[in-house]
Amino acid sequence: MALLNQFRCTSPSPITPFKQQQQLTTTSFTFPRHHRRKYPSLTAALASDDSKKKKLVLEVKDLTAVIAETGKEILNGVNLSIYEGEVHAIMGKNGSGKSTFAKVLVGHRDYEVTGGSVVFKGENLLEMEAEDRSLAGLFLSFQSPVEIPGVSNSDFLQMAYNARRRKLGQPELDPLQFYGYIMPKLEMVNINADFLNRNVNEGFSGGEKKRNEILQLAVLGAELTILDEIDSGLDVDALRDVSKAINALMTPTNSVLMITHYRRLLEFIKPDYIHIMDEGRISKTGDISIANILEKEGYKAMATS
């Protein structure tokens, strides 16, 4: 258990993940990996140069939030920094505040922020309306996706996509152009074109809802994608499809924050960091070894004492 103390986190780790160190480059020169082992101080200097160049996508500091209706505090001082291209996972016991954190980030009206700050791509996220957060490139796949009776998937997606295009100063797509745009996305997520004519999530199975969330992500694009238990309700084939699509959507500038209970998802979408949420704050940060210990010993192994 003492080993776990190395994962204790009071502020986000400044260490460049190993994966990125392996790809260490300067603008004109790549420092060969075997030399990096020989000259650790030079490697460290280049690594810190490299992390300076990477843009901070999300910076959460001491975030506290309550349930708007009752005033009950759920988030209790969350600190988290995500740089572009990084994949972060949050694990934690039921009721520790993971979904609340995700929903507070997208501006869900059930919660009221009572302290701290959230900066998204250099802007104060907490001052933005929920719709503007999404237009700015923040996407949340909800743990329980909502149904929208009477609105077809294709109308919904076209409307949402055109709103994003307007925001980006691009011309809107008409239905025919949109059809051409969405067909390869359907293939990417491995879902049938019939999906487009059905009402949003109405009568969808749990797995279909999750696939539909990823279709929305594929259509809209996002700089920061938050996936809240995207693996729940998926059989192994669906999990593989969904993970493949998410990986295909990753670019060097997009980032992912995924909430999960299971190591299985982390085998498909490899995280750079794993955080443990406990009683409304991130209590530990580490690498895949945290998930390995969790799988074997459960959350009691994460106790700090």
Ligand X SMILES: Nc1ncnc2c1ncn2[C@@H]1O[C@H](COP(=O)(O)OP(=O)(O)O)[C@@H](O)[C@H]1O
**Contacts with Mg ion, residue ranges (CB under 5 A):** 98-99, 143
Name which of 99 and 158 has its Cβ closer to Mg ion: 99
Q: Which does 81 bind (CB under 5 to 8 A by kind): Mg ion, ligand X, none?
A: none
Q: Which does 298 bind (CB under 5 to 8 A by kind): ligand X, Mg ion, none?
A: none
Q: What is the largest CA-CA distance in the chain?
A: 64
Q: Count Cα neighbours of 105 within 13 Å in the Cβ-side half-sphere.
A: 29
Residues near ligand X (CB under 6 A) are: 67, 74, 92, 94-100, 110
Secondary structure class of 138 (helix, strand, coil):
strand
Report the nearest approach of ligand X to the CB of residue 194 (Å): 32
Beta strand segments in 128-188, E: 138-141, 148-152
Q: Residue 143 has which token pair?
A: 């743990």
Report the nearest approach of ligand X to the CB of residue 118 (Å): 16
Q: Residue 300 has which token pair?
A: 């009691």
Q: Which does 97 bind (CB under 5 to 8 A by kind): Mg ion, ligand X, none?
A: ligand X
18-21 long-range Cβ contacts below 8 angstroms, 24+ apart: 19/272, 20/50, 20/85, 20/272, 21/47, 21/50
Q: Which does 219 bind (CB under 5 to 8 A by kind): Mg ion, ligand X, none?
A: none
Q: Which does 92 bind (CB under 5 to 8 A by kind): Mg ion, ligand X, none?
A: ligand X
CA dist., res. 19 & res. 22, Å (int): 5
Report the nearest approach of ligand X to the CB of residue 67 (Å): 5
Report the nearest approach of ligand X to the CB of residue 92 (Å): 6
CB atoms < 10 A from the CB of 133, how many?
21
Name which of 47 and 258 has its Cβ closer to Mg ion: 258
Report the nearest approach of ligand X to the CB of residue 99 (Å): 3
